Amino acid sequence: MPKQTIRDIQWQGKRALVRVDFNVPQDKTGAITDDARIQAALPTLNYLLDHGASLVLMSHLGRPKDGPDPAYSLRPVAEHLAILLGRPVRLVDETVGPKAEAAAQSLKPGDVLVLENTRFDNRETKNDPAMSAQLAKLGDVFVNDAFGSAHRAHASTAGVAERLPAVAGFLMQKELDYLGDALTNPQHPFVAILGGAKVSDKIAVIEQLLDKVDAILIGGGMANTFLRAQGYATGKSLVEEEALDVARSLLAQGEDRIHLPVDLVVADAFAADAARKTVAVDAIPDGWMALDIGPASIAHFANRLAGASTIVWNGPMGVFELPPFAAGTNAIAEILASLPNAITIIGGGDSAAAVRQAGLDDKISHVSTGGGASLEFLEGKVLPGVAAINDRK
């Protein structure tokens, strides 16, 4: 059912309690190295400010182990956000409690307050009702714009929505529109590209998509398990022995819809300076490992993608972190960017990172901000953070 959004609320004089995803990478000095997630929230934040709201923003950052840790403070994020918004942004040094409540109560229309890292309070990940109630005191309406955290039933993503009117921000709505349409009403031909290390991580996605797609293209480490299931020798390549029977079953169900690599870039060690060569899938030498798809596989996949109307991509085609084994992943990114008439959706995570590194994200229809969330969405799972948003009646 469609969800209510920030357009359904009269914001003048209201405090918007906004769950954003400001879990951004930083260097050792604390400087933000990629602000894509902050940039993605700006349309929602600017709309709320332009319509007379004040903002109380909450997010997690990293995985602090034992309460507050300066290394995971949102202070650098608040300072960077102030530059992007062109207005002062205040950080309060607690997530809930008297200081946070006093700071929230003092807000006037146009003011922006950032709460300290939600995971500094260990009740957050337990979806503790008391913490949810404390968060609810800080706003009049809850706005969830953090799709990347929507698969977690936490106090700041699900619990607080039980205590306040809950609506989606623009980023959340965009994610649901693109991913939802891909699952329920895709334009055909519909092609899915799946990669990454393990078949076990994508079994549910493949099962969910098999009856919907015209083709599934499989690369990355997970392709090795399918190749072994077909009887090929795979040398020292990563293979999930326990998933071989599942792989055989999926191949049988997929018939001519599942497409595997036809050649591979193999190396004698897992290292950028390892000896490497390109071989057919039936010619992997003993002691060597597959670390990328080869040029014939790229051409094969390109042919399958050429006439596609909807394309969903989740997972790299090889060990793209090592430059000698990034060609397959980069080629897929370039192919998708060259298809202006297709709806192209990148399912977050490493695939999104590869597209951004290549500078091609502006040529993709939608680059998801949630790797784990988009994967679970594609699996057909109900995301707690999405379910908690009010349905449009």
So which residues are the catalytic ones? 37, 198, 349, 372
Partners of 193 in the β-ladder = 217, 313
Please report where in the chains the tokens 């709320």 appear, as a residue. Answer: 48
The Cα 374–Cα 214 span in angstroms is 20
User: Is the Cβ–Cβ distance between 193 and 201 less than 8 Å?
Assistant: no
Which residue(s) pair with 92 in the sheet?
115
| Number of Cβ atoms within 10 Å of the Cβ of 384 | 18
What is the enclosing helix (H) or strand (E) of 82?
Answer: helix 75-85
Size of the chain in residues:
393
Q: Name the phi and psi angles at 156, rounded to 5.
A: -90, -5
Q: From CA 260, how far away is CA 293, in angstroms rounded?
A: 10
Cβ-contact 151, 383 below 8 angstroms: yes
Q: How far apart, in whole angstroms, are the C-alpha atoms of residue 68 and residue 120?
A: 5
Q: Dig out the tokens for 382 from the structure.
A: 């109900």
Residue 96: which H helix or E strand, with range? none
Can you list the pairs that 301-306 forms with residues at least 24 positions away whose Cβ atoms lie under 8 Å? 301/193, 301/217, 301/219, 301/259, 301/332, 301/335, 302/331, 302/335, 304/191, 304/215, 304/217, 304/259, 305/191, 305/193, 305/217, 305/335, 305/336, 305/339, 305/342, 306/339
Write out the DSSP string of 115-183.
E--GGGSTTGGGT-HHHHHHHHTT-SEEEE--GGGTTS--TTTTGGGGTS-EEE-HHHHHHHHHHHHHH
Burial of 359 (0-12, 13-18, 19+ CB in 10 A): exposed
> Residue 386: enclosing H or E segment and its boundaries?
helix 384-387
**What DSSP character marks residue 392?**
P
